[in-house]
Structure 1
Amino acid sequence: MDTRFLETFIVVAERHSLAEAAQRLNLTPAAVAQRIRALEAELGVRLLVRSGRVMRPTEAGFAILDRCRDLVRDTRDLKAMAGTATISGEMRIGAINTALTGLIPGILHRLAQDYPLIEIFLKPGASMDLYAEVLSGTLDAAFIIEPRFPMQKTLTFNKLRQEPLVLIAPRDCEGADPLELLQTLPFIRYDRNQWGGHIADEYLREIGIRPVERYELDALEAIAVMVDRGLGISIVPDWAPPWPAGLDIVKLPLPRSSAVRTVGIVVTRSSPRANLVAALLETSRAAMEL
C-alpha cells in the first residue's frame, strides 16, 4: 500500500475538499481523486462521500483515519532514522501568529538553504494548544511562549527572544504617563486565557490598577489596529516585526515592570526525527544572532 495515498486520504478528510487537498499536496484535483479511488479499490470500501459542498469520511473512513495517521507518521520516522547521513524528511512545526510572521520566515529561509531536503508542515495556534500537540507527538516542535509552569520532563524549551511588555496608545498620547493612561482611557485587553495575556494581567494586578475594559481578544495585530483607530490603549508584548502597516501609535515602557514574554521552541527530548529537530534548533539560534 502506497503511504502517499493514505496521506492524500488524511488531507482530504481534514480539509473536507479535494481542491484544498490538491493545493496542500501540490497535485491536481484529478490526481487527488484518482489516489482516493485507488485506495478505496484496494481496501474494498468507500472512504469519502460528498455532503453538500464538502467531502466527509464515511463510517469506514472515520474508523481507519487515526490508524492512517499513525502509519504515515511511522513511515516518516523510518525515513528520518534511515537518513541520518543526509538530513531529510518531513517535520511538523507549530507556531504562534507573531512567530509565524516575525521569526519563522527568516528561520525557514536559512533552513531551506542549509537543509534543502527537509520538508516543513506549519500549523498556527495558541501556545497552550501547540504545547499539548508537541507533548502528544502530533507536532515535532513548536514556537511558543515559555510556559509559566513546570514542563513535562519529556520536553525541553529553547529560548529565542525576550519581548518586554509595553503600553501601546494613539500617537497623541506620546510623552504621557502610562499609569495615568491606564486609569483614564478605555482598555483593550490581551486575552487572559493566553499565556502572554496572563503576564499582562499579572502586571495590572501588581500595580493595583483596574482599567476600564472595552474589549478582550487574543489577536495582537488586531489589538494594535484597534489602538490605532482610537478605540483604546493596551498592554502587549513588543513582538518581532513586522507589525501591521500604517500604524500611528506609540509604545510606552511600563513603569515598575519586569514583565517579559519569552518566545522559544518546545521540542521532545527523544524523537524519531531528532536529526531534523536538531537542524531546526541550530538554524533558529543562528538566525536569531544575525
Structure 2
Amino acid sequence: MLRELKTFIAVAHHGTFAGAGARIGLTQSAVSAQMQRLEEHLGFALFDRTGRSATLNPAGRETLAVAEELMTVYARLSEHGGIAEESGMLNVGAIASAQVSFLVDALEGFRHELPGWRIRVVPGVSLNLLGQVDAGEIDIAVIIKPPFALPSDLEWRTLVTEPFALLVPAALARKPWRELLGSEPFIRYDRRSFGGRLVDRFLRRMRLTVRDAIELDELQGIVQLVARGLGVALIPRTAGLGRLPKRVAALDLGDDTFYREIGLVERPRHSRQAAASQLADCISLAAGAAREG
C-alpha cells in the first residue's frame, strides 16, 4: 500500500485528485482508483467528496498523520543502508508472446544487477495492461502499441516490430494468399486485442471478405488450429512462437504486409521507482539483442 499512501498524501496536500495526479504523474482516474483501493483496504472512507474537491473527513485526517509518519520511517530506511533502493517488489505486465521470448533474458539480466528485488509478471491483453499502468496497479508493461494516442502522462518505448503473415495448412502453401483468405475458414485473432484490430483494419483496407470460423487471442493456439487443418489465420511472426510445425506454412503478404509494434508503456521517469526504470532498460536491451539475433 505504499504507492497508495503516497498518492493519498498528495491528494490531501493538493485538495483534488486532478491536482495530485499532475504532481505525481498519474491521471485523475488513476488517482481515483488508488484512493478507492486504499479505502477498501482500510475499511472506511477518507474523504468528503464534494464537486471536484476531495476534503479529508475526520478518519482521513487521522489516517494522514499516520501515513506521513510511515513515509518518514520508510525514508529513514533508505538513508541507512539503502534498503529501499536495493530491495522491493516490481509488478511488470506482459502479453503472452513477450513472456516466452525476450522478457526471459531481461529478467535474468535484471536479477543479476539487483538480486534484492522481487518481480511479479502480470499476464494480460494489451488494453487491460495499459489501464493497469495508467491506474498505478503495475509499474511497467510490454504491450502491443494501441491504435489510439496514449494518455499524455504515459511514455512509450518501441521494442520490436513484427510483420504479419498468413498461416495456412502446408498442403495449401502454393496457393495465392488472397485466394485462401476468401475460400478457407478464417481463424481470427481476437478483435478485442490490439493485434486483432490490426487484422480487422487490414481486411477492410484490402476489401477482403473472410469466412469466420474460430476467434481467439492465444497465438500458439491459432498455430495449432491451422496445423490441424481447421482454417487459415493472419498472425504476427513473433519470436515467441518459435519454429512453426511442419504442417503449417507462413505466406508472405508482399507489398501488402502490415505490422504490429511491441513496446514498453511506462509512467514518467520522475514518478516511477528507479528499479522500474532499470528493468525497463534491461527489457529494451534484451529485445534489441533478440531483434539482431
Fold match by TM threshold 0.5: yes
Alignment correspondent of 1:153: 152
1:204-257 CA distance string (max 9 Å, x none): 111111111111111111111000000000001111234487552111112442
Alignment correspondent of 1:229: 228
Root-mean-square deviation (CA), in Å? Answer: 3.0
Offset of 1:65 from its aligned partner? 4.8
Q: Distance in 1 between matches of 2:76 and 2:124?
A: 26
1:90-239 aligned at under 5 Å gives the runs 90-239=89-238
Q: Distance in 2 between matches of 1:247 and 1:80?
A: 60
Alignment correspondent of 2:41: 66
Offset of 1:285 from its aligned partner? 1.9
Q: Distance in 1 between matches of 2:38 and 2:201?
A: 45
SS in 2 for 1:289: helix
**Kept in 2: contact 1:165–1:237 (CA 8 A):** yes
**Kept in 2: contact 1:93–1:141 (CA 8 A):** yes
Tell me the amino acid that sits aligned with residue 170 of structure 2.
Answer: R
SS in 2 for 1:209: coil
Offset of 1:189 from its aligned partner? 0.7
1:87-117 CA distance string (max 9 Å, x none): 4321111111111112221111111112212
| CA distance 1:210–1:91, change in 2 (3 Å) | same
Alignment correspondent of 2:29: none
Alignment correspondent of 1:262: 261
Tell me the amino acid that sits aligned with residue 143 of structure 1.
Answer: V
SS in 1 for 2:89: strand
Unaligned runs of 5+ in 1: 4-61
**Kept in 2: contact 1:163–1:260 (CA 8 A):** yes
SS in 1 for 2:174: coil
Is the counterpart of residue 88 in structure 1 residue 63 in structure 2?
no
Q: Distance in 1 between matches of 2:152 and 2:163?
A: 28
Aligned residues: 226
**Kept in 2: contact 1:80–1:273 (CA 8 A):** no
**Kept in 2: contact 1:169–1:251 (CA 8 A):** yes
Alignment correspondent of 2:240: 241
Offset of 1:198 from its aligned partner? 0.4
**Kept in 2: contact 1:223–1:234 (CA 8 A):** yes
Offset of 1:282 from its aligned partner? 1.5
Alignment correspondent of 1:52: none
SS in 1 for 2:239: coil
After TM superposition, the score normalised by the length of structure 1 is: 0.70
Q: Distance in 1 between matches of 2:238 and 2:38?
A: 43
| CA distance 1:257–1:177, change in 2 (3 Å) | same
Q: Percent identity?
A: 29
More moved, 192-201 vs 239-248: 239-248
| CA distance 1:81–1:240, change in 2 (3 Å) | farther
After TM superposition, the score normalised by the length of structure 2 is: 0.69
